[in-house]
Structure 1
Amino acid sequence: MTSSVATYAHIDLVDADDRYLVTLRRPAQRNAISGEMIAELHDACAVMERTPKPVLLTGQGQHFAGGADIAQLRERTRDDALAGINRNLFDRIAALPLPTVAAVPGYALGGGAELAYACDIRIASPTTVFGNPEPGLGILAAAGASYRLPSLVGMSVAKQVLLGGATLDADTALRHGLVQEIADDPVAAANRIIDRIVRQSALALRFTKKIVDAPGDQPWVNDIAQAVLFEHTDKAERMTAFLERKK
């Protein structure tokens, strides 16, 4: 497997043959999400949108991301809030064309939790803790938790986190379906999931993700997407290979 590495000030982006690996790299600050990191992640998104591949997102060291950079957050104004600085980035990550898998060691708090919620699949480590303590800082979890967490764990559990200050450790997150599994090495586990993903049809995955994420029930969209796939050479080749293996 060949790969290239783009090293920014606060993230690394590895462009491999069949996947991207994005690593948050501020371990001394528990990978707190700063304005500079947000800008770098936007640059990474532009790369990943131009040439779509599955994405593995993780944090360097013992933690995924311990939240936003509070020193910077304290200085943000009403206009900054209206600009949706963190939300726009996390929505962009959620909209990446192919599946995203977050390997989540240690803390995923505040904006770090919301970044993990924006991914399609999450893998925990035994030390993982999800939480949204924003009301304790006089703000709300405005970068996706209010509309992603209820769909991931249900309204009752989401309210326990967002209103009651509860945190979800790895076992609790697994029990409520927030993570797929708990692994001593979540990056290795995430790579195994991506190994399965890349064996599937990229176009079928793109359509499936877009349809699953779309609001409301629109069965006719499934028919249109299926019609496109039925006429694609990938379908004939994959089904022929399947039938040949069964002989």
Structure 2
Amino acid sequence: MDTVTVERTADRYVLTLNRPQARNAIDAAMIADLHTACGIVEDDPAPVLFTGAGDHFAGGADIGELRERRLSEALAGINRNLFDRVAALPLPTVAAVSGYALGGGAELTYACDIRIATETAVFGNPEPGLGIMAAAGATYRLPDLVGRSVAKQVLLGGHLLDAAAALRSGLVIDVVPAGEHLASGHRVVDRITASSPLALRLTKTIVDGAGAPGRVDDIVQAVLFETADKHDRMTAFLEKRNLR
């Protein structure tokens, strides 16, 4: 992967957006690399810490590519599908944000479970100024995170949330001095990894699944999958014998 680095330690992943020369703008190559990274995490789940190389988390999507996208690309939900996949990762995700998190960069942080920011952090969705909308999750995630009023100020009024405003609105868990976001993010993940992975996974499913059709089914199925009764019955089926 050229635009995302993946570091796997004993108990976590660190995914770093790696286009610092472009303020880590999210282009097609980065979307593909993030999908690959998500696949790695899905195959071997662990908490994930997202961050950006250099001074910024992600300054938005690649405008040059966006300008050329047409109806078919919009209907494909290119960025939205990626961020929905990030949001659905099985264990908690943390975004360690420095500098700009704008447009698609902001929406990637919204898809994470927890956000931490430096004093330089700025969150915003300036898409309407470019003739489009924030269509990669901001319209349904940001109101849940900060409330409808603040979300409208950002999405409709072009308001930028600096670090202090992000903290007041509940968007971030903490604000730390410049350069300390990654270490602070690791401390958050340290607290996460001290908990039961199964408890975390089910808790995230419950919280995210409120009102989502099928998620309760997933939870019930997850519990049943862990029972001895399920194992015995399926073993009997495979061995072509009856339990009674």
* TM-score, reference length from structure 2: 0.87
User: Which residue number corresponds to residue 194 of structure 1?
Assistant: 189
Of 167, 170, 173, 1:180 maps to: 173
Which contiguous aligned blocks of 4+ residues in structure 1 show a shift greater than 2 angstroms? 215-218, 220-232
Distance in 1 (CA, whole Å) between partners of 2:194 and 2:121 is: 29
In the alignment, structure 1 residue 130 sits paired with structure 2 residue 114:
no
Amino acid at match of 1:207: L
Shift of 1:212: 0.2
Match of residue 164 from structure 1: 157
CA distance in 1, matches of 2:222, 2:60: 40
For structure 1, the 5+ residue unaligned runs are 1-7, 233-247
Separation (CA, whole Å) in 1 of partners of 2:110 and 2:212: 22
5 Å-filtered alignment, 1:24-35, equals: 24-35=17-28
Q: Report the secondary structure of 1:53's partner residue.
A: coil
- Tell me the distance in 1 between the aligned counterparts of 2:17 and 2:220: 38
Matches within 5 A, 1:142-153: 142-153=135-146
Identity of aligned residues (%): 62
- SS of aligned partner of 1:63: coil
| Separation of aligned partners in 2, 1:165 and 1:54 | 32
By how many angstroms is 1:225 displaced?
8.5
Q: What stretches of structure 2 of length at least 5 have no aligned partner?
A: 229-244
Mapped partners of 1:173, 1:229: distance in 2: 40
Q: How does 1:50-199 map to 2 (within 5 A)?
A: 50-184=43-177, 185-199=180-194
Aligned to 1:47: 40
Query: How far did 1:216 drift?
Result: 2.5
Give the aligned length.
224
One-letter code aligned to 1:194: V
1:215 Cα offset (Å): 3.0
Rounded to whole Å, the distance in 1 between the matches of 2:219 and 2:61 is 42
CA distance in 2, matches of 1:18, 1:231: 26
Q: Distance in 2 between matches of 1:100 and 1:205?
A: 11
1-side partners of 2:97 and 2:107: how far apart?
Answer: 12
Residues 191-243 of structure 1: CA deviation (Å, up to 9, x unaligned): 0011111111000100000110013399x8899599679979xxxxxxxxxxx
CA distance in 2, matches of 1:217, 1:40: 28
* TM superposition shift of 1:35: 0.3
**Paired residue for 1:213?**
208
Distance 2:224 2:193 in 1: 20
- C-alpha displacement at 1:15, in angstroms? 1.0
SS of 2:14 mapped into structure 1 = strand
* CA distance, structure 2, for counterparts of residue 224 and residue 30 of structure 1: 43
State the AA in 2 paired with 1:188. A
Quick one: structure 1 residues 223 and 75, their matched pair in 2 at CA, closer, same or farther if it must change by over 3 Å?
closer
SS at match of 1:122: strand
- State the Cα RMSD in Å: 2.1
